[in-house]
Amino acid sequence: AAQAGYPGAARAAGSALARNPVPLLIPCHRVVRADGGLGGYLAGLSWKRRLLALEGVLL
């Protein structure tokens, strides 16, 4: 949200991404919580971890 110019809209951005119908085209798996936690993912946290690992993200 902050990078889009709306620093106070993190909850709105998260809500929109939670309803993402094409998660591989709009990479919502890259969104993490403010505290660095994984948060949720439509396909489950195991898939989120796999996708992030494929992108080289260290968890």
pLDDT per 10-residue tile (average), the chain, 59 residues: 87 86 88 88 92 93
pTM: 0.74
Residues 6 or more apart in contact with residue 40 via CB below 8 angstroms:
18
5 burial via Cβ count (<10 Å: 0-12, 13-18, 19+): exposed
d(CA 16, CA 53): 24
d(CA 46, CA 10): 23
Place of tokens 């992030």: 52
d(CA 7, CA 37): 19
Which of 2, 9, 15, 28 is an active site residue? 28
Which tens digits make up the pLDDT trace of 3-13?
A: 889 989 988 88
- Asked if 36 is an active-site residue, the reply is no
pLDDT given at position 20: 87
